[in-house]
Copies of this chain bind each other. A is one copy, B any other.
Amino acid sequence: MNRLKVGVIGSGRIGKVHIENISVRISSAEVVAVADPFLDAAKEFAEQFGIESVSADYKEIISNPEVDAVLICSPTDTHSQYITEAAEAGKHIFCEKPLDLSLEKIQNILTVVEKSGVKLMVGFNRRFDPNFSKVKQMVDKGEIGNPHILQITSYDPMPPPPEYVAVSGGMFLDMTIHDFDMARFVIGSEVREVYVKANVLIDPAIGEAGDVDTAVTTLFFENGAIGTIANSRQAVYGYDQRLEVFGSEGLINVTNNTPDNHTHYNKLGSHGSLPLNFFMDRYTESYKVEIEEFVNAVVNNSEIPATGKDGLMSVAIGLAAKRSASENRPVKLSEILL
Contact = CB atoms under 8 A, between A and B. Distances in A.
Interface residues of A, number: 74
Interface string A250-280: 1111111101111111111111111000000
Contacts of A134: 260, 262, 273
Instruction: Give the copy number.
Output: 4
Interface of A: 20, 24, 48, 50, 130-131, 134-135, 138, 143-146, 148-149, 151, 153, 155, 193, 195, 197-199, 201-202, 214-216, 218, 220, 224-228, 230, 232, 234-238, 240, 244, 246, 248-257, 259-274, 328-330
Most B CB within 10 A of own CB, among A236, A249, A267: A236
B199 A214 contact: no
Contact of A250 (B198, B226, B236): B236
A271 B270 contact: yes
A16 to B, nearest CB: 12
A149 B249 contact: no
Contact of A218 (B50, B138, B197): B197
Nearest to A151: B230
Given A131-B260, A264-B252, A271 B269 contact: yes
